[in-house]
């Protein structure tokens, strides 16, 4: 059944429209008696005021910031940290804005979200995490005059993005390991077959490959293992790596969670970290802290803060404020990395 309107309530209570409205808004000038009658009618009809209709004459816009992202199945850590940063910034701004979370389960759903947001959803601005925009999609947002910024992995786009340099991160990690003397360095990353085609793992891999190339290490594809983003998959890939005729002396995992999977698997196999094999992660999460994991720090929360800051500035009217600078990625050295066990391995490999 359709919801009752104040008209129905008014009729039922035998009063005028305005009176009902006054009761609804706790207006003082209503007699206790009338108020009682109206309240009664409201209860009887199960009347619930239409929030949209209230908003129109009041001219109070909905104060929402949209955050559009993918389903954070396993790697919700990065999303959560970024959301936290945004939330913090939003609160610091003190404008009473709220975050509306849109989660796109597929590229089609993502596209649907974009049009629905521009057409029907009153957001004051939009932050897009991890997902790219086609030129058409960008055009749609622009022509709708919705300020928007992207976060993560949108290097070189024509629209505002807080980009985290994943390639640099992969490079830095691999160079860190080669500097320790490692030559057989494995990479564990996300498989590239997910429908969204996130470029993060790919970018980190590219950096890793560049680093190896730079120091004259031949890229051994048997050392490159891709799987689901999660503990279990990484553990399985690690077992595969260890089972190789010539196992790697170091593993660079594209996330702390995956690095944790490596460490778990190695522990099960009674291999010591870093004595037998070094492990590096990525993100510098609490997980890295508690595992003593050497990792790449990428300022997740800050990326959310900066993105929100930027967006708010755009909403304020600055056409395109200067992009905020995210600190460079850096290796955080802890306990899971060390020199390869057998010195001379390098020569052994080279003569094979």
Instruction: State the residues that interact with DNA by CB under 7 A.
Output: 2, 5-7, 14-22, 24-25, 29-31, 33-35, 47, 49-50, 53-54, 56-59
351: contact with a second copy by CB under 8 A: no
Q: Binding a second copy by CB under 8 A: which of 28, 31, 52, 216?
A: 52
CB-based contacts of 46-52 (< 8 A; 24+ apart in sequence):
46/3, 46/4, 47/3, 47/4, 47/5, 47/6, 47/8, 47/9, 48/3, 49/6, 49/24, 50/3, 50/5
**Six-digit token string for 11:** 């009729």
48: contact with a second copy by CB under 8 A: yes
Question: Shortest gap between Cβ of 193 and a second copy (angstroms)?
Answer: 21
- With respect to DNA, which residue has the nearer C-beta, 1 or 2? 2
147: contact with a second copy by CB under 8 A: no
Altogether, the residues listed in the chain come to a count of: 352
User: CB–CB of 141/133 below 8 Å?
Assistant: yes
Alpha helices, H only, 128-285:
135-143, 166-179, 200-214, 231-242, 256-268
111: contact with a second copy by CB under 8 A: no
- CA–CA gap between residue 203 and residue 156 (Å, rounded): 13
Question: Shortest gap between Cβ of 115 and a second copy (angstroms)?
Answer: 11
CA atoms within 13 A on the CB side of 57: 4
Question: Shortest gap between Cβ of 117 and a second copy (angstroms)?
Answer: 9
297: contact with a second copy by CB under 8 A: no
| Cα 315–chain centre separation | 22
**Six-digit token string for 65:** 């910031």
282: contact with a second copy by CB under 8 A: no
218-237: which residues touch a second copy (CB under 8 A)?
Answer: 230-231
The residue assigned the tokens 């058409």 is: 136
Q: Total residues at the site for a second copy (CB under 8 A)?
A: 59
Three-state DSSP at 332 gives strand
Interface residues toward a second copy, by CB under 8 A: 43, 46-48, 50-56, 60-62, 64, 71-74, 76-77, 79-81, 83-84, 87-88, 91, 98-103, 105, 119-122, 143-146, 230-231, 257, 260-261, 263-264, 267, 286-287, 289-292, 335
């Amino acid at each position: 059944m359709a919801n009752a309107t104040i008209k129905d309530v008014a009729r039922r209570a035998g009063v005028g429209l305005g009176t009902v409205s006054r009761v609804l808004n706790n207006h003082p000038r209503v007699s206790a008696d009338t108020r009682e009658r109206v309240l009664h009618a409201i209860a009887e009809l199960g009347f619930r005021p239409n929030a949209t209709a209230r908003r129109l004459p009041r001219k109070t816009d909905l104060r929402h910031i949209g955050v559009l992202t993918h389903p954070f199945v396993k790697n919700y850590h990065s999303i959560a940290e970024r959301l936290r940063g945004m939330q913090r910034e939003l609160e610091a701004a003190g404008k009473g804005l709220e975050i509306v979370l849109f989660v796109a389960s597929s590229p089609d759903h993502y596209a649907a979200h974009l049009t629905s947001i521009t057409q029907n959803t009153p957001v004051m601005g939009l932050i897009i995490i991890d997902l790219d925009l086609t030129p058409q999609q960008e055009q749609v947002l622009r022509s709708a005059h919705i300020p928007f910024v992207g976060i993560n992995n949108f290097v070189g786009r024509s629209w505002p993005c807080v980009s985290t340099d994943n390639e640099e991160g992969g490079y830095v990690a691999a160079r860190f390991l080669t500097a320790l003397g490692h030559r057989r360095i494995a990479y564990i990353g996300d498989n590239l077959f997910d429908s969204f085609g996130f470029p993060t793992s790919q970018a980190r891999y590219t950096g890793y490959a560049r680093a190896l190339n730079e120091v004259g290490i031949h890229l051994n594809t048997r050392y490159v293992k891709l799987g689901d983003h999660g503990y279990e998959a990484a553990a399985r890939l690690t077992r595969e790596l260890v089972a190789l005729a010539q196992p790697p002396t170091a593993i660079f995992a594209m996330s702390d969670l995956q690095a944790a999977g490596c460490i778990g698997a190695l522990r099960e196999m009674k291999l010591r970290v870093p004595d037998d094999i070094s492990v590096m992660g990525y993100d510098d999460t609490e997980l890295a802290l508690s595992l003593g994991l050497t990792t790449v720090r990428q300022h997740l929360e800050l990326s959310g803060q900066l993105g929100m800051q930027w967006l708010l500035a755009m909403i304020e009217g600055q056409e395109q404020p200067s992009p905020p600078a995210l600190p460079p990625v850096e290796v955080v050295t802890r306990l899971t990395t060390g020199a390869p066990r057998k010195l001379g391995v390098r020569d052994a490999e080279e003569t094979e």
